[in-house]
Chains A and B, each alone.
Chain A
């Protein structure tokens, strides 16, 4: 199969995946208790007429199957519907919040992948030693700590020690660069505002540490396991017996082979990363899609929840597609 055919087939496969996913979310949202209209009115009540009017305006007075057909029809046209609570199109809402999530997850991945892989490789090369034990215990401990708890602990640490790091938000209001992309690091660079750039980078440190170390811990474990496995292979032993230096054996023979499953795992980690982003964004008041999703769930904003889920699914699919394509680069034997 040619690469282009493979990519097209993978993209086409996402269509039934999204269809099934949206159907499942649609059904779950209607089955579980909770009513968006009641949540909108909250404790204030609202008259029966107002409630009926709002239900009609939101289309919630129609039979569920009609709502489903209408929603799927609009989704097929690329219309994610209208947010009941935000009173804006879901696409607009997602476009507003997505850049912040991309900025956070990209930076977290940027931190996690080199650190995670490096620590895993380091542990593997000292397998059975003190350094290996330290890294494994450290990774395990970090992996076991929930994201929200770790984030809160970092915030408390920063407040108690007086470290000059911001603990909330994507930027200080006074240092805000002109919004172009919504990713303030990029916006600061585009507007050539060094102060805003520094501010945006400082704001990234704690959330990225929170999210990135979770992924790094996971990658450390998987990298170590893979490298240890590869180092035990016969061809590694043969290479050593033929007189290759330890470093050469490792760099030329062990590492490239160990990287392939790590690459697969990294692709899967995007889902974990997005899941962690929901909690990280909440703890750090980071205005991203994760926080939007939590908000939407609180208000039972069906369309917005479905929009967020579809977006996350697309991001995970895209990441995995990129990983699959990159196989060809890492492993010349791979053909599509």
Chain B
């Protein structure tokens, strides 16, 4: 079977070349970061059991969260519109309705206590820089601060939708959508772009987006990228480990640690796939059928060859 030997030689050289050009070359070019499974091991565990009712008072209280954040499920509107907020803080503070399900509880507690630390952006807010993180650290309401924070987290968890009701889109909007646009899903940093009847209304909306982006650019140093095609340009593993801790893959980046739970990270990635790889299910389906067709084609071509070559040998 000389032909099979030749085929084996061709296959081996092809596979060696493939290995060197793809897995090997990429392992040299790109730092490999293992997932930490969104454990946030550097943050202290919650030791207190929170009470949602007390938490509500703290969250809603004068000078507390609702001074800057909207909580739409609780009927609490935003004190300022998105553009004015971004111009004041650099970025629009998130609506707190679903943060209890999207973010890890330990992370939320650490964030309330010391935002720059939990977000891993302390390098941006060194004493020399003279800058402070726009979100003020919670200094306590007079009681046991850890208990108070646990109460606030419990309240935020109590108002959030249940995990199984959290859609990929909601997870994306809460976790990423105030900094990142997603053109292919019609998403801007100030929300979904509506369909306008009048050109001037559309232009007015676009100007708001530009104003917001200008403020955001000043705050972040660079406009955060549109994420429409990130599922193809970065891939699932990179996105997941980057979201978990941006500093691992891009040291010094202004992007904060997002603090999502593992389940929410999966939802975010699903939403990215819904934008940049919409036909993945169709691809699998069609792929199977084409493979079956082509194997049958090869079988018939083999039978044809045999019937013709039996006279030639």
A interacts with B: no
B interface residues, Cβ below 8 angstroms from A: none
